[in-house]
Chain A
Amino acid sequence: MSGTVRLPPVLAGWFERRGWRPFPFQREVWTAHARGQSGLLHATTGSGKTYAVWFAALIEALRGGARRAPARPHTVLWLTPMRALAADTARALAEPLAELGLDWTVGQRTGDTASAERARQQRRPPTALVTTPESLSVMLAQADAASVLGNVRLVVVDEWHELLGSKRGVQAQLALARIARLSPGVRIWGLSATIGNLDQAREALLGSIAGPGVLVQGKVPRQVVVDTVIPDVPDRFPWAGHLGMRMVEPVAREIEAAATTLVFTNVRSQAEQWYQALLEARPDWAGLIALHHGSLDRQLRDWVELGLKEGRLKAVVCTSSLDLGVDFLPVERVIQVGSPKGIARLLQRAGRSGHAPGRVSRISCVPTHSFELIEAAAARVAAADRRVETRLPPRAPIDVLVQHLVTMALGGGFEPDALYEEVCTTWAYRSLPRVDFDWALDFVTRGGSLHAYPEYRKVERGEDGRHRVVDRAIARRHRMSIGTITADSAMDVRFLGGGRIGTVEESFVTRLKPGQAFLLGGRLLSLVRIREMTAYVQRAKPGTASVPRWMGGRSPLSTELADAVVEMIGRAARGDRSLPELRAVARLVELQQRWSVVPGADELLIETVRTREGHHLFCFPFAGRLVHTGLASLFGWRASRGAPNTFSVAVSDYGFELLSPLPVDWRAAFAGDLLDGGDLQQHLLESLNAGELARRQFREIARVSGLVFTGFPGQPKRARELQASAGLLHDVFEKHDPGNLLLAQAREEVMREELDLVRLAATLERMRSKALRMVEVEHPTPFAFPLMAARIREKVSTEKVGDRIARMVADLERAAEAR
């Protein structure tokens, strides 16, 4: 590139001493930054992306040589999505400073930062501050925000793809808009892993900056190897319940073959079970393998991460808790237990391995049932083609806006016209109608547009026309709740003696009775008592234990991966046995073909079967469990309009089952309006308990908009006077203020997030275009069986379920053998 930035001699020397040369993409970032441009750098972890943006700021600081001005506080803000990453990032940023002779300081400020440290930072702010979107918003909610954040030259948003699709990303957009006002000329640089909509990611990041900014392509991703651990005898009747424990031995063998392995599972409960199972398979690994997930105590996680860095650990069983963060050089292999659910996640996790020179990233999928063999093959093909998911940024969430108004009222106050203009510079609110802004303004100043409550005064309009928060208790509560966007009600778990083990979800603990045992952090614990958001436990004797259920484990298969699965099944249908996974599922595919049909990519398979349970319909749209939940309700509702009937429902990522006591003429129903796109939203609302879904969705909205207050840290007992559940507030609003925009937001979020209306409509359209293959079968087929097993598990939740399903498998195997 012509006119690239000249590297200051001291920096050039820094590279020379290491025998390194700057990558072209690093120079590209430095040059653009020196020209005053902002941008998004697309790069994977461990590719030098941190120094690409950090050195951009340092180059500017080094300019002027010995006569340069002294470092000014908060010159660089570095946003990281996880506070756990802040310490490592701060260390990496501080590392080259001394050698470069810069008088810069690096600090960090997150929800974990002690108040003494925060006070010290207030007196002597660091030159560069590593922080989270929440902590940045807390800083913006201080009266002196304008002076504290008025000198920012560069904001770096690390792992922007992680924030982009969530309300936290919107919070970050609003904070960036504010900083752009406070520090004119500030540059914003985002770092993002591979996602399908990088251009949109750049637009959403740089909305408040003049000019479009640049998209810099980072180092070409290293070679990624995706393969599959093939089970010895794949099931013909797969079911998703037994967590693939038969795969423990093959996985243990894989772990033996590599120096250090990360074993990813999709949910924390699965991580706990795999950790236990691996220890049972290899008792001599005690102390050499470890567990890492978001519910474990920070200190324990730190210890595990250090062990990984130093190569002391043979393997770590983990969840998305280790998706991000600094690289662990010793990691050679990554194992993914169960479906990766998406291509981006597969690539991200693969990228955690093979950072040592001359190594490649390698991820091995471990299917927990036979269908995941097909999925693994599909994922590999799609990953090779880089068919990566998009992450859609939310549009104009009112709850985040309500929170932001109070934040701005605290941070020196605001004038509505100017703030409206500022908010509209963000991507999320770029077409926010003024009436909606005014509604939010009314909500925080008067309690709503319909009423004027004399006793309500959250944000008050001063005589100078500026809006401020005057009440100190309200101010304190707001600053405290800014950080709670992602908080779920987690309960501390401690030994009676006081030692902290970690957290579990409140809903899980409150269902346990004292004396009941559960697994956490690889330890068998029994509940003694619950006191004020702390569960006190002691070690339990071995026996049966519940595994805590944590939320967030039910993310659906992505559209990209689902499409790849449909193609892969089409290959299997055509008799393709060229891949090891397709060979492994050959028995399953042949039986499916014998009893029913293996659908081609342009066919829609419907199976009906009559059993002692009743009349079953199995439908396989391969559109992910959210869409299937909506489709199942819709089908049930549409089919029972003429002839009343009741349906039991089961869904998976591949299809759904409707079970009814009375027979249904499904052929007529499909010929009728079953697949119609018309009145879709209306029919869905009527078929689902949509009101209840919206009520549940309102929980997060109530928390973000400050309607419910979760309490002060160290004061777990909530402010009693303010105790009201989000559900109760939802009901009161619905009855007495039905036009409230937050209610509308809850309904819209249900449609978009819970039911994924867009994908559902697209799925219906695609189903209409396919050739219908409706087969009446004698027995549940290999395709249908996982759905039946899932339904039975949902209905009865005793240990005997495993026995019952095993018996069913045995029956079906007999039927399969009897020709």
Chain B
Amino acid sequence: MSATTTVAGEVLELLPERALLWSARSLLLVADAHFGKAARFRTLGVPVPAGTTAANLQVLEGLVERHGVARILFLGDLMHGRLLPGSATFHALVEWRRRRPGLSLELVPGNHDRHAGDLPPALGIEVHADPFDIGPFALRHHPEPLPGRYVLAGHVHPVVTLHGRARDRLRTPCFLFGEAVGVLPAFGAFTGGFVVERAGAGRVFVVAGERVLELPQPR
């Protein structure tokens, strides 16, 4: 179950799949997918099991299908590192692209994308400059404010820690909406999180399993 909120006059849907849907424009915003991260780990001698790329693509495919998404805009760090032609990640991405030729894929590059170098043309991803203006929003990777615009960004991988009974503790990814900047959780299945302070963070929506819930404001 998603949550709906109005930001800068636009109705946005916050999805438990850790992505943001702007229905009026059939647009899906996805931050920090970090494709190829597990493979990079394996290259460096850490045997992370395969399956995270497939899982990521399956979720994307489901969202496109269910919500009639026409356009996906990646808010940076789409790739974790250089995508090697011939690698399993490369094949999986190209294969998915082949099955979704009509979908518009666009990227506002993040720090990882810049290190990763140019994207293979076979993916057909249009690259924008940062910030990329659309409606009342400025889309970018780093959550830095811009005068007169509402910034939607990624990069932080925000999570909050919720405390329960006894020593029960739960870390969960979240969406943050401050005065002038909104931050999306990291989309990638193999990405960690950075614990953010709730005080002063603005409105916080946590991803709780299949649901997105807004947290009450701290006193």
Complex Cα spacing A524 to B55, Å: 50
- Chain A contact residue count (CB 8 A cutoff): 39
State whether the Cβ of B134 lies closer than 8 Å to any Cβ in chain A.
no
State whether the Cβ of A443 lies closer than 8 Å to any Cβ in chain B.
yes
Residues of A within 8 A of B71 (CB): none
State whether the Cβ of B190 lies closer than 8 Å to any Cβ in chain A.
yes
Residues of B within 8 A of A456 (CB): 42-43, 45, 47
Residues of B within 8 A of A709 (CB): 46
Question: Would you give the shortest CB distance from B106 to chain A, in whole angstroms?
Answer: 26
Within 8 A of A (CB), among B12-47: 37-47
When each residue 437-479 of chain A gets 1 if its CB lies under 8 Å from chain B and 0 otherwise, what string results?
0000001101110110101111000000000000101100100
Complex Cα spacing A443 to B46, Å: 10
A706 touches B51 (CB 8 A): no
A732 touches B190 (CB 8 A): yes
Query: Given the known A-B contacts A455-B39, A736-B51, A794-B166, are A707 and B192 also in contact in the complex, defined by CB atoms under 8 Å?
Result: no
State whether the Cβ of B99 lies closer than 8 Å to any Cβ in chain A.
no
Residues of B within 8 A of A453 (CB): 39, 42, 47, 50
B52 touches A721 (CB 8 A): no
Complex Cα spacing A692 to B45, Å: 26
Selected contact of A649 from candidates B41, B165, B192, CB within 8 Å = B165
A721 touches B166 (CB 8 A): no
Complex Cα spacing A721 to B50, Å: 17
Complex Cα spacing A477 to B45, Å: 10
State whether the Cβ of A648 lies closer than 8 Å to any Cβ in chain B.
yes
A458 touches B47 (CB 8 A): yes
State whether the Cβ of A512 lies closer than 8 Å to any Cβ in chain B.
no
Selected contact of B192 from candidates A448, A648, A723, CB within 8 Å = A723
State whether the Cβ of A729 lies closer than 8 Å to any Cβ in chain B.
yes
B81 touches A706 (CB 8 A): no
Complex Cα spacing A457 to B168, Å: 39
Complex Cα spacing A474 to B45, Å: 6
Complex Cα spacing A473 to B40, Å: 14
A736 touches B44 (CB 8 A): no
B43 touches A455 (CB 8 A): yes
State whether the Cβ of A725 lies closer than 8 Å to any Cβ in chain B.
yes
Q: Which of B37, B49, B55 has the most CB of A within 10 A?
A: B49
A448 touches B39 (CB 8 A): no
Query: Given the known A-B contacts A648-B165, A732-B190, are A737 and B46 also in contact in the complex, defined by CB atoms under 8 Å?
Result: no
When each residue 703-731 of chain A gets 1 if its CB lies under 8 Å from chain B and 0 otherwise, what string results?
00011010000000000011111011100
B41 touches A471 (CB 8 A): no
A728 touches B190 (CB 8 A): yes
B191 touches A728 (CB 8 A): yes
Query: Given the known A-B contacts A456-B42, A725-B192, are A447 and B51 also in contact in the complex, defined by CB atoms under 8 Å?
Result: no
Selected contact of A648 from candidates B38, B46, B166, B189, CB within 8 Å = B166
Selected contact of A455 from candidates B87, B171, B189, B191, CB within 8 Å = B87
Chain A, residue nearest B191 (CB): A728
Q: Which of A473, A735, A740 has the most CB of B within 10 A?
A: A735
Complex Cα spacing A723 to B170, Å: 21
Question: Would you give the shortest CB distance from B193 to chain A, in whole angstroms?
Answer: 8
Residues of A within 8 A of B44 (CB): 473-474, 721-722
Question: Would you give the shortest CB distance from B94 to chain A, in whole angstroms?
Answer: 17
Residues of B within 8 A of A473 (CB): 44-45
State whether the Cβ of A689 lies closer than 8 Å to any Cβ in chain B.
yes
State whether the Cβ of B122 lies closer than 8 Å to any Cβ in chain A.
no
Chain B, residue nearest A650 (CB): B166
Complex Cα spacing A706 to B39, Å: 16
Residues of A within 8 A of B43 (CB): 455-456
Chain B, residue nearest A725 (CB): B192
State whether the Cβ of A303 lies closer than 8 Å to any Cβ in chain B.
no
State whether the Cβ of B48 lies closer than 8 Å to any Cβ in chain A.
yes
Residues of B within 8 A of A732 (CB): 38, 48-49, 51-52, 189-190
B42 touches A728 (CB 8 A): no
Question: Would you give the shortest CB distance from A221 to chain B, in whole angstroms?
Answer: 40
B192 touches A728 (CB 8 A): yes
Within 8 A of A (CB), among B140-191: 165-171, 189-191
Question: Would you give the shortest CB distance from B184 to chain A, in whole angstroms?
Answer: 18
State whether the Cβ of A508 lies closer than 8 Å to any Cβ in chain B.
no
State whether the Cβ of A23 lies closer than 8 Å to any Cβ in chain B.
no
Within 8 A of B (CB), among A671-729: 689, 692, 706-707, 709, 721-725, 727-729
CB<8 Å pairs between A and B, sample of 22: A447-B47, A448-B47, A455-B39, A457-B45, A477-B45, A649-B165, A692-B169, A692-B170, A706-B46, A707-B47, A709-B46, A721-B40, A722-B41, A722-B46, A723-B192, A724-B190, A728-B191, A728-B192, A732-B52, A736-B51, A736-B52, A794-B167
Listed in ascending order, the chain A residues whose CB lies under 8 Å from chain B are 443-444, 446-448, 450-451, 453, 455-458, 471, 473-474, 477, 646, 648-649, 689, 692, 706-707, 709, 721-725, 727-729, 732-733, 735-737, 740, 794
Query: Which 7 pairs show the lowest CB-CB distances between chains A and B?
Result: A447-B47, A736-B51, A737-B49, A736-B49, A456-B42, A458-B45, A474-B45
Task: A722-B44, A736-B52 are known; give 4 further A-B pairs, CB within 8 A.
Answer: A471-B45, A724-B37, A736-B50, A740-B49
